């Protein structure tokens, strides 16, 4: 059969129902979340800074949301800062600490999200010293390496809790203990945007001083995030104006989205164990199905210490963007990596940090499952993948070895 006939036959296999497998990029708003938000758009719409009934009502709702978030983070309500998203929260944590201290050494990892790596690179150009820790073949940071990198002038360590591309979960609690052994002078920030729906996020138990969360990763609205900042940690605001958010983030609070974030976090944390177990079964079914039906394929990330919904696979001798386009034609929505870098054709910095070549990295696909994902979705996707790979390998000039 010619390649064109194979393609035609493949496309006839499309089901009516589409399959969304890119929950790491963003999640749909949960209906329960939307219901909680709805009154604050057009009914209880007032600015929470207003000293009249409907303003005070909005402020009460804002306070309640802050207390609810603090409950799940194991902290005080005044340690919660609402922001415009995960990126802003990361920037506020990193620039806020650096600007408050003025100089020093920062430690991060090679596989952080650009929202962490880019601010740190900017600070490096301004004279701060930076250590970027390598990771092992599974994307894991070594606690021993981190301890060895700590210096007298180290001011901040920023290590993400769970990687957005390969799903590897870092030993945050152990890292926190190692940092505190250094004398308590070094602040510890973790980006927990991908982890909030799957991991325990009690800040006291984890030993973190700053934590970033994002509404759009936990079935909440886009455009809202949180920065947990422990009492006593000094940061300088990056958005100046009014005195909102304890003088840490100026601007009228986005009350509907903040209400939505709090509700989304509540649902995510209450359901994370049960839903995580369900997703692990589907995730492992997908991995096993792909490995059984496709040759020259590799799982990226840690085999067990990974997010319940993450399947990141490298398919040798293919180009990832073409794979994603074929999947799209079948109504299966996945990605080649971080949605924040999807318009770039460079290979993923996360995949190359695992020690593989650019050619390997270009064949990496990320499938991230969610609440709507079913066994039937997984089985259909696994059935289609070998056919796509076969077509792409027929026209590929590559012939790589595992």
The pair of three-digit structure tokens given for residue 191, joined into one six-digit string: 């980006």
Question: Does the pLDDT of residue 368 top 80, yes or no?
Answer: yes
Reported as a single tens digit per residue, the pLDDT across 114-156 is: 999 999 999 999 999 999 999 999 999 999 999 999 999 999 9
- What does the pLDDT average to over 259-269? 98
pLDDT score, position 104? 97
pLDDT score, position 124? 98
Question: Does the pLDDT of residue 397 top 90, yes or no?
Answer: no
Question: Catalytic residues, which ones?
Answer: 340
- What does the pLDDT average to over 256-264? 98
Give the bridge partners for 80, in sequence order: 228
pLDDT score, position 2? 81
Share of the chain above pLDDT 70, in %: 97
Q: pTM above 0.85?
A: yes
Q: Which residue is listed with tokens 């390649």?
A: 3
Reported as a single tens digit per residue, the pLDDT across 294-339 is: 999 999 999 999 999 999 999 999 999 999 999 999 999 999 975 5
Three-state secondary structure along the chain?
Answer: CCHHHHHHHHHCCCCCCCEECECCCCCCCCHHHHHHHCHHHHCCCCCCCCCCHHHHHHHHHHHHHHHHHHHHHCCCHHHEEEECCHHHHHHHHHHHHHHHHCCCEEEEECCCCHHHHHHHHHHHHCCCEEEEECCCCCCCCCHHHHHHHCCCCEEEEECCCECCCCCEECCHHHHHHHHHCCCCCCEEEEECCCCCCCCCCCHHHHCCCEEEEEHHHCCCCCCCEEEEECCCCCCCCCCCCCCHHHHCCCCCCCHHHHHHHHHHHHHHHHHHHHHHHHHHHHHHHHHHHHHHHCCCEEEECCCCCECCCEEEEEECCCCHHHHHHHHHHCCEECECCCHHHCCCCCCCHHHHCCCCCHHHHCCEEEEECCCCCCHHHHHHHHHHHHHHHHHHHHCCCCCCCC
- What does the pLDDT average to over 63-70? 98
d(CA 343, CA 144): 36
Reported as a single tens digit per residue, the pLDDT across 174-225 is: 999 999 988 778 999 999 999 999 999 999 999 999 999 999 999 999 999 9
Taken in order 120, 124, 128, 133, the sign of the CA dihedral is positive
Residue 262: Cβ within 10 Å count: 30
The pair of three-digit structure tokens given for residue 215, joined into one six-digit string: 């509404």
């Amino acid at each position: 059969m010619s390649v064109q006939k194979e393609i035609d036959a493949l496309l006839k296999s499309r089901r009516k129902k589409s399959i969304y497998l890119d929950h790491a990029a963003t999640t749909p708003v949960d209906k329960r979340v939307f219901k909680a938000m709805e009154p604050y758009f057009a009914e209880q719409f007032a600015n929470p800074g207003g000293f009249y009934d409907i303003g005070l009502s909005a402020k009460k709702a804002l306070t309640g949301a802050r207390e609810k978030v603090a409950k799940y983070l194991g902290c005080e309500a005044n340690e919660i800062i609402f922001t415009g998203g995960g990126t802003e929260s990361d920037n506020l944590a990193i620039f806020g600490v650096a600007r408050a201290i003025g100089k020093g050494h920062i430690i991060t990892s090679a596989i952080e999200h650009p929202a962490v790596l880019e601010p740190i690179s900017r600070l490096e150009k301004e004279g701060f010293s930076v250590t970027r820790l390598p990771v092992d073949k599974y994307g894991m940071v070594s606690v021993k390496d981190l301890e060895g990198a700590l210096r007298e002038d180290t001011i901040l360590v920023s290590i993400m809790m769970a990687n957005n591309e390969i799903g590897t979960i870092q030993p945050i609690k152990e890292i926190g203990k190692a940092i505190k052994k250094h004398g308590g002078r070094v602040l510890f920030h973790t980006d927990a945007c991908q982890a909030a729906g799957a991991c325990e996020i009690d800040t006291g138990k984890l030993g973190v001083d700053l934590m970033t969360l994002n509404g759009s990763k936990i079935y909440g609205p886009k455009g809202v995030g949180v920065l947990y900042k422990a009492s006593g940690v000094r940061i300088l605001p990056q958005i100046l104006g009014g005195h909102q958010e304890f003088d840490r983030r100026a601007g009228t609070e986005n009350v509907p989205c903040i209400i939505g974030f709090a509700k989304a976090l509540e649902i995510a944390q209450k359901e994370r164990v049960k839903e995580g177990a369900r997703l692990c079964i589907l995730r492992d079914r997908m991995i096993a199905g792909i490995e059984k039906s496709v040759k020259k394929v590799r799982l990226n990330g840690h085999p067990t210490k990974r997010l319940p919904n993450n399947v990141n696979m490298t398919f040798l001798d293919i180009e990832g963007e073409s794979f994603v386009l074929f999947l799209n034609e079948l109504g299966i929505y996945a990605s080649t990596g971080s949605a924040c870098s999807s318009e770039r054709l460079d290979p993923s910095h996360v995949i190359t940090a695992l020690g593989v070549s650019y050619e390997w990295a270009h064949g990496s696909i990320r499938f991230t499952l969610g609440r709507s994902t079913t066994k039937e979705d997984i089985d259909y996707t696994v059935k289609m993948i070998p056919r796509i790979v076969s077509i792409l390998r027929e026209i590929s000039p590559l012939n790589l070895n595992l």
